[in-house]
Amino acid sequence: MTAALLAAALALSSGAAAQTAPKGYNHADAIWLASRVQAYYNQTKDFKAKFKQIYKKAYHGAQKPRWGYMWVKKPGLMRWDYTSPRKKQMISDGKKIWIYDPGYKQVFWRNLKTSAVPSAVSFLWGKGNITNEFFVKIVTGSKYAKPGTKVLRLKPKIPNSNYKHVLFVINARTAVVVQTVVYDYQRNKNHYFFMNPEANTLVPDSLFKFKPPRGVRVIHATGNTMNPATQTPPPRRRK
């Protein structure tokens, strides 16, 4: 979970739940599964996992997989350390989101309140409510489904320009989300795998503190998203 990183934000609305569900959505089994997921993360104070991220552009194919470790802690703390193929960090300290690229010696930052925190990870904070904000349905025969898992498709009740829909691959026994797949309107796909997930391990607040290193370029980001998979650094200057 990026962050992101990442390509989508939750659309919050008190009147969203009153909308009529599209055909095939909000059947009882899907509502029950979404409620189990919600209940699990409601009681989760912090969460950590190893992750793999694959960002696939519709007309250019998949980028090289990115690997790393992530930590999330309520309220609003998040850290993604990318370790391969290039080191990169995305950190939310509760006020700002920072993306640090040591290879290019630059830091992007944005105020958390105005950032598009991806739905792929924002549910880990207990932010919002799945069934209030999304129409849900279980995807039978999904290529992402493995033995012991179920795939839940989430369609936002309030259209969002950052993404079209999201898939959660869920451990059917524990209700833990082990994969998220975010699709946008350009048919790009941002796929996260969460491995060895652990909850409520007393992750320290100090892990989410960030101060730009000396000598790096600090940039106030103005785009709609803070996604390490899609950030394109400027070309290196020839000496």
Give the domain range for residue 27.
Answer: 23-220
CA distance 234 to 219: 12
Q: What is the pLDDT, as a whole number, of residue 122?
A: 67
CA distances from 10 to 61, 88, 110, 123, 224 (A): 26, 24, 17, 9, 13
Q: What is the pLDDT of residue 39?
A: 92
Residue 213's pLDDT is 95
CATH number at residue 179: 2.50.20.10
pLDDT at residue 8 in the model: 33
Digitized pLDDT (tens) for each residue of the chain, 239 residues in all: 333 333 333 332 333 445 789 999 999 999 999 999 999 998 999 999 999 999 998 888 888 999 999 999 988 899 999 999 999 999 999 899 999 999 999 999 998 876 656 555 666 666 678 898 899 999 999 999 999 999 999 999 988 787 899 999 999 999 999 999 999 998 899 999 999 999 999 999 999 999 999 999 999 987 655 555 555 444 444 44
Show the tokens assigned to 31. 């509502």
Q: Which two tokens stand for residue 185?
A: 């309107």
The rounded distance, in Å, linking the Cα atoms of 52 and 93 is: 23
9 occurs within a structural domain: no
How far is Cα 216 from Cα 203, in angstroms, rounded to an integer? Answer: 28
pLDDT at 113: 74
Tally the domains of the chain: 1
